[in-house]
Structure 1
Amino acid sequence: MSAYRTVVVGTDGSESSLRAVARAGALAGACGATLVIACAYLPTEADDRELQRAQDVLGEEAYQVVGSSPAEETVRVAGERATAAGAGPVRTVAVVGSPVEALLDVVRREDADLLVVGNRGLTSIKGRLLGSVPADATRRSACDVLVVHTTG
C-alpha cells in the first residue's frame, strides 16, 4: 500500500477541529502528501430561520461558520496550525454549504485518498440520533477516513 498523496481535513475554527487539523498536518507531512484544509460556511444572507433551526436541533454541536471572510480566516489559522505540525504543501479552501457536503465535494474535486475528521458529535445522544459530521462523512466517503480523538 502506498502512502497517502492528498489528505483533506475540515475545520470550523473550534479548538476540537484544530486538533484534527494538527493531526492531519503531521500525517500529511510524514507521508509527503498535500494537505487540503476545508471550511464549510453559510453565506451571510443565509436564512436566519435555517440557522436557528440548526441551533435548536444540535445545540452546542451547531458550530457553523457564516460568511466567506470568517471562513477564509478560519482556514488561514488552520493552515498555520498544520504547518507548525509538520505539513508540507498546504492548500486552503472555503466552500459554501453544509459541512458534510462541502467536505465530500472537496474530497472528490481534489481526488483525495484520506479524509480526516474530529470525533466531536460522535459520542453525544443527539449525534447518535440525528447524525454528526464525522459519522455522516465516514459513512458517505469514497476514500479512507481517519477519525481523530479531539474531545475529552
Structure 2
Amino acid sequence: MSAYRTVVVGTDGSESSLRAVGRAGALAGACGARLVIVCAYLPPRGDDREVQRAREVLGNEAYQVIGSAPAEETVRTATEQAKAAGAGDVHPVAVVGSPVETLLDVVARERADLLVVGNRGLNSLKGRLLGSVPADVTRRSAVDVLVVHTTD
C-alpha cells in the first residue's frame, strides 16, 4: 500500500478541530503528502436568528463558522499548527457551505485519499440524535477517514 498523497482536514477553529489539524499535519509530513485545510462557512446575513438559535441549542456541537474573515483566520491559524506539526505542503481553503458537504466536495475536487476529522459530537446525545460532522463524513466518504480522538 502506498502512502497518502493528499490529505484533507476540516476545522472550525475550535480547540478540538485544531488537534485534528495537528494530527493531519504530522501524518502529511510523515507521508510527504499535500495537506488541504478546509473551513466551511456561511456568509453573514442581516438576520442570523436561525444560526444563533441553533448555537444555543447545540452549544459546543455547533460547527458552522459565519463570515469569510473568521474562516480565513481559522485556516491561517490551522496552517501554522499543521506546519508546526510537520506538514510541508499546506493549502488552506475557506469555502461557503455546510461542513459535511464542503469536506466531501473538497475531497473529490482535490482527489484526496484521506479525510481527517475530530471526534467532537460523535459520542454526544445531540450528535447521535441530530448527526455530527465525523459521523456523517464517515458514512458518506469515498476515501479513508481518520477520526482523531480530540475530546476528553
Aligned residues: 152
| Alignment CA distance shift 1:99-1:47 (3 Å) | farther
1:14 corresponds to: 14
1: CA distance, partners of 2:14 / 2:46: 21
2: CA distance, partners of 1:123 / 1:47: 32
2:82 corresponds to: 82
2:137 corresponds to: 137
Query: Which amino acid counterpart does residue 52 of structure 1 have in structure 2?
Result: Q
Query: Which amino acid counterpart does residue 3 of structure 1 have in structure 2?
Result: A
Structure 1 segments unaligned to the other structure (5+ residues): none
- Offset, 1:53: 4.1
Identity rate, percent: 82
Alignment of 1:88-107 (within 5 A): 88-107=88-107
Q: TM-score, normalised by structure 2?
A: 0.96
2:37 corresponds to: 37
Query: Which amino acid counterpart does residue 37 of structure 1 have in structure 2?
Result: I
SS at the partner of 1:79? helix
Alpha-carbon RMSD across the aligned residues, in angstroms, is: 1.2
SS at the partner of 2:13? coil
SS at the partner of 2:142? coil
SS at the partner of 2:35? strand
Query: Which is worse superposed, 46-55 or 95-104?
Result: 46-55
Query: Which amino acid counterpart does residue 60 of structure 2 have in structure 1?
Result: E
1:103-131, CA deviations, whole angstroms, 9 ceiling, x for partnerless residues?
11110110100000000001100101111
SS at the partner of 2:41? strand
* Deviation beyond 6 Å, 4+ runs, structure 1: none
Structure 2 segments unaligned to the other structure (5+ residues): none
Alignment of 1:120-135 (within 5 A): 120-135=120-135
